[in-house]
Amino acid sequence: MKTAQSFETQDEKRAYVRDLMDRAEILLSPMAGVSDRAFRGVCRELGADVTYCEFVSANGVLHGNPATFDLMEVGEEESPIGIQLFGSEPEVLAEAARTTEKIGPDIIDLNFGCPVKKVVKRNGGSALLCNTPLMEDIVRAVVNAVSVPVTAKIRLGWSKGTVNYLETTKMLEEAGACAITIHGRTRDEAFRGIANWDPIAEAKDNVSVPIIGNGDVWNYEDFAEIKERTQCDAVMVARGSIGNPWIFDEIKSNLQGGEWTPPTLEELFRKVVDHMHREVALKTER
């Protein structure tokens, strides 16, 4: 089992995350059905600085659901790594976070951004953007429950008429979140249209904790633009990595001043086979 660092004070937690985000450039988002251990390994080898497990239900953790714990499987080689929880009850999330901490994540992230109906109808994910007092209670409960840093992921608001990212980011900072990831869409927009990065820049000016930009980063050009426009501390890639884990290599190569070339057909095939072998090996272990 992986052993993560633990911290005694909130200042120590924030210093750790600040240092991490000063060094990290590109993060792999927690994605259901995608960011399992095999895929995380591929992305890490190609340049992802921080990776996250698939997001999991706090209730599933609390009830000892075997499938939930499979999703939270973390290897000794995976560091830094985060585990993201979703739910709507502060006490449940706090207890789930205590259990999650024993697995060894470097960060516990709270999901306040997922737009998927089956999450929202249980008052989880982006549903909490409509109930920021409850969101605050959740963050405070989890922060007080664990000795690892707690972060949060949000959207701009529930809808264009109820955008509340400035109030939400300020509240999250005051409640103890050590960093905040912002997806540049509302819940109503889901993944339609084009992500709006300008509010991420506003939020960056509104708080002192690191802000991580997210939404529609498909290549190095997008990465460079979101960084320039928002001055965010790091960038989180989600759908842009699906079928294209080389996005991390592309970004890193450009940042280091190298000339990046897309993988050849042979390289694509080798990586697909490598990914398949990882999946088979890890599934067999279970």
d(Cα 82, Cα 78) in Å, to the nearest integer? Answer: 10
Is 30 annotated as ligand-binding? yes
Is 236 annotated as ligand-binding? no
- Output the furthest CA–CA distance in the chain (Å, rounded): 53
Is 15 annotated as ligand-binding? no
DSSP letter for 179, please.
-
Is 117 annotated as ligand-binding? no
Query: What is the per-residue DSSP string for 63-115?
Result: TT-HHHHHHT---TT--SEEEEEE-S-HHHHHHHHHHHHTT--SEEEEEE---
Residue 178's SS3 state is: coil
- Amino acid present at 269: F
Is 238 annotated as ligand-binding? yes
Is 256 annotated as ligand-binding? no
Is 31 annotated as ligand-binding? yes
Give the up-direction half-sphere exposure of residue 42: CA atoms within 13 A in the CB hemisphere: 23
Structure tokens at 209: 């904790």
Is 192 annotated as ligand-binding? no
Sequence-separated (6 or more) residues with CB below 8 Å from residue 279: 36, 38
Q: How far is CA 159 from CA 179, 184, 270, in A?
A: 23, 12, 43
Active site residues: 114
Sequence-separated (6 or more) residues with CB below 8 Å from residue 192: 185
Q: Which residues are annotated as a binding site?
A: 30-32, 84, 153, 183, 238-239
Q: Would you list which residues are annotated within the binding site for FMN?
A: 30-32, 84, 153, 183, 238-239
